[in-house]
Amino acid sequence: MKALVLERYNELIYKDVEEPSIEPGEVLVRVKACGICGSDVHGMDGSTGRRQPPLIMGHEAAGEIVATGSAVTQWEKGDRVTFDSTVYPLNDWYTLQGKYNLSDNREVMGVSANEFRRHGAFAEYVAVPAHILYKIPEGVSYEEAAMVEPVAVALHAIRIGKPQLAGSCVVVGAGMIGIFLVKLLSKAGLSNLIVVDINSKKREQALRCGAHLAFDPGDEHMISSMMKVTNSRGADISFEAVGITATVNIAIDSLRKGGKAVLLGNLTPTIDFPLQKVVTRELTILGSCAIKGEYEAVLNLLSKKDIHVRDQISEIAPLSDGAYWFGRLRQNNNGLNKVILVP
């Protein structure tokens, strides 16, 4: 089969590779769409240590089942499916507590780290454990289904933050995840939905997607303006979708006393942390990792047209042109949102 292989750091080659074989509990999926994730673009230079070559990347995918392993009973050939990016063991302590996203020995599709290597979906076929599959509802396209993963990441963070009706939320960073946070939060009946991003185009987009206010962090009046719309208190919850010192500090500065910051960005491993502010204002800091079963809810929203993802797809391109599109995304994307590759 053809696949887009990360042969060496920064070197993607479209070439023939062996078709994956499937374990008894797996299915073989003919890939119909696979989105390029920011973590693939950032990771392919070796900086994250989680895209160690040789590797077929790709974890935001959808396709059709063409073969099922001997132990698979609930799926059949021809089923249209998407799948979780996390491959988790079913007998793990965390999985049994309902927290499979935190399970020990979890693997991620299209990722290779020191402990594991799991080929992903930038290929004609991918082997997928049956227990991470989700059926794509009628009326939802493969391209839309390939967008479920980033929406589900946003929904997971919102479920951790638990926004209240008529409350106020701040989203720091209006990249793909930030925009989906805004789209989902715009359904929560908030009094204030505020976005912070350095890029004016992203701020405009966030406003079109349902944010009430958008600020440039370079604006010295940003925090005072936020105070003005929140009765001089600050927001109830902030969502941080970048992961550097400056943006985490904005997420904390924008909160009222007793507020909550949900951190999902993790661009840098460590940051300068405003300890005294967090302690003396009794703030709650919450981490949000990946997805914990939110796929089904997102597929439902898509099927009911309650959320739109099409506007975030900039290009649908053949997998053979993958190296070119990765290159475009690495040059800091100039307005490019999601690029979906089709084998």
* Interface residue list for Zn ion (CB under 5 A): 37
Residue nearest to Zn ion (CB): 37
Q: Closer to Zn ion by CB, 22 or 307: give it.
A: 307
Is-cis flag, bond preceding 54, omega within 30?
yes
Q: Closer to Zn ion by CB, 26 or 40: give it.
A: 40
CB of residue 37 to Zn ion, shortest distance in Å: 3
CB of residue 245 to Zn ion, shortest distance in Å: 23
Q: H/E/C letters for each residue in the chain?
A: CEEEEEEECCEEEEEECCCCCCCCCEEEEEEEEEECCHHHHHHCCCCCCCECCCECCCCEEEEEEEEECCCCCCCCCCCEEEECCEECCCCCHHHHCCCHHHCCCCEECCEECCCCEECCCCECEEEEEHHHEEECCCCCCHHHHCCHHHHHHHHHHHHHHCCCCCCEEEEECCCHHHHHHHHHHCCCCCCEEEEECCCHHHHHHHHHCCCCEEECCCCCCHHHHHHHHCCCCCEEEEEECCCCHHHHHHHHHCEEEEEEEEECCCCCCCCCCCHHHHHHCCCEEEECCCCCCCHHHHHHHHHCCCCCCHHHEEEEEEHHHHHHHHHHHHCCCCCCCEEEEEC
Q: How many Å apart are CA 256 and CA 265, to the nearest integer?
A: 21
Q: Closer to Zn ion by CB, 37 or 251: give it.
A: 37
Q: Closer to Zn ion by CB, 170 or 340: give it.
A: 340
Q: Closer to Zn ion by CB, 121 or 206: give it.
A: 121
| Alpha-carbon 190 to chain mean position | 23
CB of residue 85 to Zn ion, shortest distance in Å: 6
Q: Closer to Zn ion by CB, 85 or 230: give it.
A: 85
CB of residue 40 to Zn ion, shortest distance in Å: 7
Q: How many Å apart are CA 312 and CA 300, to the nearest integer?
A: 18
Q: Closer to Zn ion by CB, 32 or 50: give it.
A: 50
CB of residue 119 to Zn ion, shortest distance in Å: 16
In angstroms, what CA-CA distances link 232 with 219, 238, 240, 254, 317?
Answer: 18, 16, 21, 11, 48
| Encoded tokens for 26 | 């797996």
CB of residue 294 to Zn ion, shortest distance in Å: 14
Q: Closer to Zn ion by CB, 58 or 167: give it.
A: 58
Q: Closer to Zn ion by CB, 37 or 195: give it.
A: 37
